[in-house]
A and B are shown apart, each in its own frame.
Chain A
Amino acid sequence: MSRSTSATRSCYNDFMSPSTQLIDQLFADKVLAARQRTLEEKFLAGGNLFLAAVERMKIGILMRNPNATDEQIQAEIQRRLAVSRHMENRE
């Protein structure tokens, strides 16, 4: 990598990296929002987030392979989830 490219990348990373203050503020916002939700809302959130993640996976698979059948999409999602479970257990 040339020196100028490296310097540009370093500037870019410095510019794009969130400050500690911003990270703390984002965490505080998440905590305050969580305290506002009911037990039922919080209980159901994990499943709803999972569903949203699966929908995004489907879109991603279709973008890479527009001719994929429903069965192929389902199989690919299952494969990715299995990898994710495996990685979590290996941590």
Chain B
Amino acid sequence: MNPNEIVAKVIAALHRSKIPFMIVGSFSSNVYGVERTTQDADFVMQLEPHSISKLIQELGPDFKLDPQLGFETVTMTSRYVASHIDPLFKIEFFLISDDAHDLERFSRRRMGQLHGNQLPLPSPEDVIVTKLRWSKGGKRTKDIEDVKNVLAVQTPANLDLPYIRHWTTQHGTRELFEKLLNDTPVI
């Protein structure tokens, strides 16, 4: 099955379950930057205690969601991993944490449209802040490439630079951000 069909099914199931969510990771950086291949889809959701069983029900028999909560070591957040009967493509559900930027990113999410469904996404500024934060000081090259691409496609003039500077200062990634900003070509 096409990964986009799997993602569309998950989005529909989350809407039916009335779980507030947004799509993060490369699906969101593709929207604001230059598209690249992705082999998984990451969702951040605000989960009530009873919601996970509702989500499992709404996902249907094509999905297997491990009800055991796991831990993601890169972002230090809790997650559920869902597998589809087509085993090549992976879906990960991250629970919103009490981290200050995580909460603000979620509250600022924007609504796009996909096949007539609402498509909640982080803002481009939050994509940049998050990618820099988890780039391990710039060592994760795909994250840095994503940031470069978002800066170039969106252009610095259209981004809320004080907001990005505020959070990158908090996360210790301000210097890296300024370097990437300086290197952004005018296109």
Contact B3 A45 (CB under 8 A): no
Interface contact B39-A50, CB-CB below 8 Å: yes
Task: Using CB atoms, name the residue of chain B closest to A30.
Answer: B34
The answer to whether A46 and B36 touch (CB under 8 A), given A34-B153, A78-B88, A91-B140, is yes
A35 at the interface (CB under 8 A from B): yes
Shortest A66–chain B CB gap in Å is 22
Q: How far is the CB of B73 from chain A (nearest CB, A)?
A: 8
Query: Interface size bucket, A side?
Result: 20 to 34
Contact of B152 among A27, A42, A51, A54 (CB under 8 A): A27
Scan residues 38-60 of chain A and give those whose CB is less than 8 A from a CB of chain B.
Answer: 39-40, 42-54
Which chain A residue has the least Cβ–Cβ distance from B90? A85
Q: Are A47 and B2 in contact (CB under 8 A)?
A: yes
The chain A residues found within 8 Å of chain B, CB to CB, are: 24, 27-28, 30-32, 34-35, 37, 39-40, 42-54, 74, 77-78, 81, 84-85, 88-89, 91
